[in-house]
Amino acid sequence: MSMRRILAIFLLAAAFGPLAARALDPQEELLRPRYWTSRSGDRVQAIFDTEQDGVVTLRNRQGQPLRIQFDRLCDADRELIRRGFMQNELPPEILDTRDASRDGDVPAEPVPGGDAGDLAPDAPEHPSEASDRELARTLPFVGTNHLRTATKNVCRIPLPEATAAFLAKNGNPDLQYIRVAVWIPTDFDPSRPWNILLATQADTSSSVDHLDCYLTALLDSPGWIGIAAEGTVMPPDSDTPLLRWATAKTLLDALSDLWPGAERWPVATCGYGGGAKHAAYLGAHLVDAKRDLLGMFLGSCDENRVSAAFDAVRPDRTRYRQTPIFVASGLQDAHANPDRAEKVLADMKAKGFRTLRLFTYNGDHNPDKGSLVEALQWFETRPGAKPASGPSGHGAAAPSGPARPAGPSATPSRPSAPVRPTAPVRPTYPR
């Protein structure tokens, strides 16, 4: 794991700490950067990797493995590992398949100073979170996994053999499982149609972890669920749009197998910065797979990858070009300011895309809640789009974002269930 990639993960966690400060499930807390303390008082900021034969492996912000005897950790850290890893409901074969032995041992270096506890400061709860926890329910998922409403569920699910073999030929060997995240609201009912937000992130960061940045927007967007998927080793050795699509499709297929009719639920892709580029490729793959692509949210987007994705994947030209594209740009964004975003939209328009919108906000190169709430509402005004299925939200107040633009309300004609290919789409684009 490169220094640049691990540093990006830590920076994201620090930037969006207020959301992470809510009460976490032990398994979820193990997925976040935090301070670990030894019994002698030494402290190090790191991400939990694994525990095996009494040895705990952490990874620091440079990506180096830090190994320490389980018994040498403080009581609180040992208890967290017991609850979040040793008592995990997942069967042993579904736990992280990373081969830690390929890295040399690196002694943990104490981190002087700093406050105790997690990276994130305390922050007020979203108004609906307390009531959501009281109403939370548990639904069955893949294997022995379960999904709990009103929280982000993170687990590992098997990758189909045909897909694993296909990816092995394209730079991703020995990938048997994928890491996924699913967020569903308290009032989730799989017998009704829902809109799906598929989040992805830049090459330097975790899509599953990045889904945290969108949870407050989802809370204010009735009728939506949020998902993300990636390989079990993050960042992967070979990160391509093909790998992103293979993991996303595996998760979407798992949801369709679990919930009849879910294969017809509309999907919107979203990402910031480099993630916006991957969101464009995922959108092209969804259209090529005959999924209902509701829209693409491209935050801090400084390049037109929408056209490049079309050239690479070759989805249906008419359907893909009709997709609503929402570009969000921060007024203080030094990488993708509104002037740059306008040029990107002009290039998309010149390439035949017509349903375009630029949204500016007072912020920098970071996710903005109001932008996504506005985008999700705008996507639902697309001709033929299905209105949000949630009866009145999920215990939350009415959406607090900008007013929804006027648009037609229509009863959609759903496409028939797609025929699933046995392997992801051909890798026609460069790595």
Say what the pLDDT of residue 111 is.
31
Q: Roughly how many angstroms between the first and final C-alpha of the chain, as a whole number?
A: 18
pLDDT digits (tens, 9 = 90+) for 93-134: 333 333 332 233 223 333 333 333 322 223 344 444 444 445
Q: Please choose, from the candidates 88, 51, 85, the residue with its C-alpha nearest in 3D space to the C-alpha of residue 66.
A: 51
CB atoms within 10 A of CB 296: 29
Give the DSSP H or E segment for 148.
strand 146-148
Say what the pLDDT of residue 410 is.
30
Contact of 49 with 65, CB cutoff 8 Å: yes
d(CA 83, CA 95): 15
Say what the pLDDT of residue 235 is.
66
Q: Please choose, from the candidates 204, 290, 249, 256, the residue with its C-alpha nearest in 3D space to the C-alpha of residue 1.
A: 204
d(CA 100, CA 333): 38
Q: What is the DSSP letter of 361?
A: E
Q: What are phi and psi of 298, to 5 degrees?
A: -120, 100
d(CA 80, CA 327): 40
Both tokens assigned to 358: 């630029």
d(CA 159, CA 161): 6
Say what the pLDDT of residue 385 is.
67
One-letter amino acid of 270: C
The per-residue pLDDT string of the chain (431 residues; one tens digit each, 9 = 90 and over) reads 455 545 555 555 554 444 444 456 777 677 677 888 988 888 888 878 778 778 888 876 555 678 888 989 998 999 888 887 775 433 333 333 333 322 332 233 333 333 333 222 233 444 444 444 455 678 888 877 889 898 889 898 999 999 999 888 888 777 888 999 999 999 999 999 999 999 999 887 889 988 988 998 999 999 999 999 998 876 666 788 889 999 999 999 999 999 999 999 999 999 999 999 999 999 999 999 999 999 999 999 999 999 999 999 999 999 999 999 999 999 999 989 999 999 999 999 999 999 999 999 999 888 899 999 999 999 999 876 665 554 433 333 333 333 333 333 232 333 333 333 333 333 333 32
d(CA 58, CA 73): 12
Both tokens assigned to 8: 């990006």
Q: Is 122 exposed, middle or buried (0-12, 13-18, 19+ CB in 10 A)?
A: exposed
Whether the ω angle into residue 424 lies within 30 degrees of 0, i.e. cis, is: no
Distances (CA, A) of 225 to 53, 94, 151, 220, 389: 38, 24, 11, 11, 11
Strand ranges for 300-418 from DSSP E: 325-330, 356-361
Location of structure tokens 């969101």:
279
Contact of 219 with 390, CB cutoff 8 Å: no
Looking at the chain, the number of H-run helices and the number of E-run strands are: 14, 14
Contact of 281 with 242, CB cutoff 8 Å: no
d(CA 17, CA 418): 39
Q: Which residues contact 43 (CB under 8 A, 6 or more apart)?
A: 35, 36, 37, 110, 111, 114
pLDDT digits (tens, 9 = 90+) for 399-409: 333 333 333 32
Contact of 250 with 160, CB cutoff 8 Å: yes
Say what the pLDDT of residue 394 is.
36
Q: Please choose, from the candidates 250, 265, 221, the residue with its C-alpha nearest in 3D space to the C-alpha of residue 376.
A: 221
Helix ranges, 147-192 (H): 161-168
Say what the pLDDT of residue 237 is.
66
Determine the 3-state secondary structure of 325 from DSSP: strand
Contact of 296 with 268, CB cutoff 8 Å: yes
Both tokens assigned to 378: 């705008």
Say what the pLDDT of residue 386 is.
60
Both tokens assigned to 150: 């009103």
Q: What is the DSSP letter of 396?
A: P
Helix ranges, 234-326 (H): 241-258, 274-288, 305-313, 317-321
Q: Where do the domains of the chain lie, and which CATH numbers do they carry?
A: 3-98 (2.30.30.700), 129-379 (3.40.50.1820)
Q: Which residues contact 52 (CB under 8 A, 6 or more apart)?
A: 100
Q: DSSP string spanning 302-317?
A: -S-HHHHHHHHH---H
Location of structure tokens 């997690």:
118
Say what the pLDDT of residue 392 is.
37
